[in-house]
Chain A
Amino acid sequence: MKRQQPIELFMPPNMLKAKVGGGLGGIDLAAMKRAESAMETLKSEFGDWIAEDVAALIAARARYAKTPDAGARDALLRAAHDIKGQAPTFNYPLIARVAASLSRMIGEIPPGGAIPLSLVDAHVTAIQVIHKNRMQDTNDKTAQALCAELDARVDELVVVAAKT
């Protein structure tokens, strides 16, 4: 083992606590309640937001199909990653699942590795269908089967990519 070197460890003054105060600490229930109420109000906009995110994904897919370079690949990953993170909030958990599969595929295939456009398209089309048909129920059998198939295809691809 290497010789141990000293580390400098220090606690800066807690300026935040001095600024905001607070008695015993813990969760501010009144503020939580206000925020939950504000989120309820915001929900009326979620339909437009998910539509815009899906449109951004379609645009990123078109860019990648035209010129599959690193910039287009990053843009596609960002669009898929955004949807993965936000779709559950917008009450589209199935879209989040498909977007997670797409993100995983792009993220785990090394830079320069081939990402099959057919499989990108399968994901993007699935997201469009789920959105168009407002499929928000995670128990939908057809959607579940579709998600499982996409997961399996990505699994195969990622395993092959890891070996090369």
Chain B
Amino acid sequence: MSNYRFDRLKILVVDDNVHMRKLVVTILQAFGVIQIFEADSGDRAWHILREANPDVIMLDWVMEGMSGLDLVQMIRTDPQTPNPFVPVIMLTGHTSLDHVARARDAGVNEFIAKPVSVKTVMSRLVAVIEHPRPYVRTQGYFGPCRRRRGAEEYRGPERRNEAPQQQAAE
């Protein structure tokens, strides 16, 4: 038993589909999270983010206007961001390796592949609490290190310099 104090967390849930938001919020409330903020667009999320400074963001990829990837990029690199290290858990129906790589290159910490389940929400929350990844800054990227192990010893090529963060959100 872990006895996390989820009631101390502030979580922002971003999804333009009201049903998905309600589903995720219901699960988080049952976990004991009290401070839950909801946004139905990337623009609204950015506004709330700057006011509430949440501890964790749960974010949909496909949204009208600003996409989830665009928002992650802003969170990581915009000078106005309140916390460039905030863990981002992406909810997505995209599960191909190419999509996962693009999301990681934009600065996503963890994924939840839809359909959402109680077990996956819990496991990704625990992952960002217990196994935070180091952050890396190169000329073209800032965000969580994609390598879960061995990052400290990495001496290979800086591939992200050739595939800057800008491209991830395109």
Contact = CB atoms under 8 A, between A and B. Distances in A.
Interface of A: 1-2, 4-5, 7-12, 14-17, 19-32, 34-39, 42, 49, 52-53, 74-75, 77-78, 81-82, 84-89, 96, 100, 103
A25 B138 contact: no
Interface residues of B, number: 58
Interface in B54-85: 55-56, 62-64, 85
B6 A20 contact: yes
Contact of A35 (B19, B31, B138, B139): B31
21 contacts: A1-B157, A4-B155, A4-B156, A9-B145, A10-B134, A12-B135, A16-B128, A19-B5, A19-B8, A20-B6, A20-B8, A21-B5, A22-B129, A22-B130, A28-B6, A28-B31, A34-B30, A35-B118, A36-B118, A38-B26, A85-B93
Contacts of B85: 12
Given A4-B156, A16-B87, A38-B30, A31 B135 contact: no
A81 B93 contact: yes
A4 B132 contact: no
Interface in B3-28: 3-6, 8-9, 16-17, 19-20, 22-23, 26-27
Contacts, number: 167
Given A22-B4, A78-B16, A85-B93, A4 B126 contact: no
Contact of B115 (A35, A81, A88): A88
Contacts of A85: 20, 91-93, 114-116
A80 to B, nearest CB: 9
A143 to B, nearest CB: 19
B152 interface: yes
Nearest to B147: A9
B1 A32 contact: no
B20 A86 contact: yes
